[in-house]
Amino acid sequence: MSISKNDHDYIFSLIDYLFFRHGINFFITSKDFDTLYNWWVKKIPEELIRKSIDNVIRRRSARGKLVDSFMNFSYEVRKNLVTEFDLKINTVSGQAQSDPKKKMDRFFENMSQEIKFLKKDFLEVRKSPALKRSELLPYLYDKLIGKLENDEEMIIKTEIFMSNLPEAMKKPEIVRKFRINFINKRFNIPDFDDNDEK
C-alpha cells in the first residue's frame, strides 16, 4: 500500500510521540501500521490519540503491563472519540486551547543559547506568509541539523528509533523528520503554521 505525505506524517508523528513522550519503542508490525492508517483514514485528531496513549500507558504501568503494539490503544481511542463527539454536540463553541501566539512569544523569550544564532531566521519565518514559511523552514532546519550533527543524544535516539521501523520506512526523509521532531522537542520550537499573524 503506497502512502501519501499526509498519512505518512500522521503515522510517523504518533510513533514519534510514543517514543519521545514515553520512551516506548517496538517493532512496527503490519497490524500496527493498519491501526495507525485506519486512524488517519477516519481523520481522528492526533491530540485525541495522544491523550488515549497517555491514559493507556498510565493504567498499564500501574498494573505492570507492557505496551507492545498500537492495537493496545484502539479501545481507548474509540472510547475517547465517542466522548469527544458527545461533548461537541452538547457544548457551545468555545475551545479554550492554548493560544499559539503566547506559545510563540514564550519560545522567543526563553530561546536556548544553543539556537540563538538563528533567532533572526526564526523571526523572519514568524512574520512570513505561509507560502514563504514553507520555503524558509526546511533551510532553517538544515542549519539546526548541521549544528547538532555530532550530538550524542540525537545520534543514539535516531539509531534506536530507526532500528524499530520496518525496512520500507527506513528512508533518509524519515531520519530527517525524526531529527526535526527531536530538535523541536529539545528546544520547545512551536508550530509556526499555528501562528498566522498576517
| Domain residue extents for the chain | 5-90, 100-194
Cα separation, 155 vs 61, whole angstroms:
28
Cα separation, 46 vs 54, whole angstroms:
12
| Of 18-22, 72-76, 92-96, 168-172, minimum mean pLDDT range | 92-96
- Tens-digit pLDDT profile for residues 53-66: 999 999 999 999 99
Cα separation, 115 vs 118, whole angstroms:
6
Q: What is the pLDDT of residue 93?
A: 41
Q: Judge whether residue 72 has pLDDT over 90.
A: yes
Cα separation, 117 vs 122, whole angstroms:
10
Percent of the chain with pLDDT over 90: 32
Q: Which stretches does DSSP call E strand in 88-139?
A: none
Q: Judge whether residue 83 has pLDDT over 80.
A: no
Q: What is the pLDDT of residue 53?
A: 95
- Tens-digit pLDDT profile for residues 8-52: 788 888 998 999 899 998 888 888 888 998 898 888 889 999 999
Residue 39 vs residues 25, 59, 141: alpha-carbon distances, Å: 19, 22, 29
Q: What is the pLDDT of residue 194?
A: 61
Cα separation, 61 vs 51, whole angstroms:
15
Cα separation, 94 vs 78, whole angstroms:
24
Cα separation, 184 vs 115, whole angstroms:
11
Residue 22 vs residues 25, 127, 145, 162: alpha-carbon distances, Å: 9, 34, 23, 17
- Against a cut of 0.75, is the pTM above it? no
Q: What is the pLDDT of residue 4?
A: 47
- Tens-digit pLDDT profile for residues 134-153: 888 999 999 999 999 898 88
Cα separation, 151 vs 138, whole angstroms:
20
* Contact (CB, 8 A) for 182 and 154: yes
